Amino acid sequence: MPVISYREALNQAMREEMDRDANIFVMGEEVGHYNGAYKVTQGMLQRFSERRIIDAPIAEMGFAGIGIGAAMVGLRPIIEFMTFNFSLVAIDQIVNNAAKIFQMSGGQYHVPIVFRGPGGPAVQVSSQHSQSLESFYAHVPGLKVVMPSTAYDAKGLLKTAIRDDNPVVFIEGETLYNSTWEVPDAEAGEFLIPIGKADIKRVGTHVTLIAWSKMVWICMDAAKVLAEEGIECEIVDPRTLRPLDVETLATSVNKTGRCVIVEVGWPVAGFGAEVAYQMQKHCMDALDAPIERVTSEDVPMPYAKNLEDEVQPQVKDVVAAVHHVLYLD
């Protein structure tokens, strides 16, 4: 399979789906003539024209609402936020309209829309541009929440999200766009990854690390360090937070007897707390130690690089948490 970047995988997914279905269009800030703030929509304006690649003004509430209305009448919009921090401007449309119209209309209106864009901390963009908001959206019934960690997952899950008849919040790792992975191309045939199915990124026996998006890569690096000590970590990536594949996560934790949850979000009411609840509920008899959570510090993101690194989970933090659940500290 070709090795391509995370951003190229997203671009391929949208191109293939737009070639397949003329009802799909992309709308967002700088998606057209500028090729996207992170160049995810590179070349798509030339391929699909301004009719289907629509540059929007800096008015997230407005173009999110336009997308929801378009979805209600049969189109399939992909709404790009330049960063998911800006989705907060449109949160009323996402939470009070997109998530609820199917239920409030008695099933008369589907809302097949994807809200996508980068989320989580980037590098030195300070507190207003470095937030992990997945727990906000995973809290809301009616929304699906997807957070791929690899280019392979990004392509397969985005194609599935575009075909879904429900609103999908698709949060891309802001620092993952240049990361590469083997990804099937169009010549390989249909490539879809089901929403709600976790993936085991590394097989191990001593402890389960549960992480998503950027934190999967941190866990992979930590697992290499721990392997030198003879500790084999199993890394499970939920890939989608809502719906959550509790069965796959619990199977791993029941096997290893220990669990560390790693997320780049804040600790209070973070999504990792929900994962911890589900693991203790389904794995209580197998657990040999309390579940550990590794999160960012409970502060707004600093601008200074050394402080930014200190706030976010690092390899050393994951290693320390594993040592703790194995009673090695």
For residues 103 and 234, is the Cβ–Cβ distance under 8 A? Answer: no
Token pair of 210 as six digits: 């549960």
Kindly report which listed range (12-21, 116-125, 230-239) carries the lowest average pLDDT score: 116-125
The amino acid at residue 266 is W
pLDDT over 90, % of the chain: 96
Asked if residue 186 has pLDDT above 90, the reply is no
Asked if residue 189 has pLDDT above 90, the reply is no
Residue 114's CB is within 10 A of a number of other CB atoms, namely 26
3-188 CATH: 3.40.50.970
Query: What's the rounded Cα separation, in Å, for the pair 10 and 195?
Result: 16
Q: Which of 129, 139, 323, 324 is catalytic?
A: 129
- pLDDT confidence band for 188 (50 / 70 / 90): confident
Mean pLDDT of the chain: 97
User: Would you tell me the crossing angle of helices 246-256 and 271-283 to the nearest 10 degrees?
Assistant: 60
Q: What confidence score (pLDDT) does residue 1 get?
A: 87
Q: Which of 8, 16, 29, 60 is catalytic?
A: 60
Tell me whether residue 129 is one of the annotated catalytic residues: yes
Tell me whether residue 172 is one of the annotated catalytic residues: no
β-sheet with 233-237: strand ranges across: 199-202, 233-237, 207-211, 259-262, 292-294
- pLDDT confidence band for 233 (50 / 70 / 90): very high
Q: What confidence score (pLDDT) does residue 329 get?
A: 85
pLDDT over 70, % of the chain: 100
- pLDDT confidence band for 217 (50 / 70 / 90): very high
Q: What is the pLDDT of residues 132-176, one digit of tens each?
A: 999 999 999 999 999 999 999 999 999 999 999 999 999 999 999
Q: What are the boundaries of each domain within the chain?
A: 3-188, 199-325
199-325 CATH: 3.40.50.920
3-188 and 199-325 share one fold: yes
Query: What's the rounded Cα separation, in Å, for the pair 173 and 193?
Result: 18
Q: What is the pLDDT of residues 275-293, one digit of tens each?
A: 999 999 999 999 999 999 9
Q: Kindly state the average pLDDT of the residues 67-88.
A: 97
For residues 168 and 115, is the Cβ–Cβ distance under 8 A? Answer: yes
Phi, psi for 108 (deg, rounded to 5): -75, -30
> Which burial class, exposed, middle or buried, applies to 55 when counting CB atoms under 10 A from its CB (0-12, 13-18, 19+)?
middle
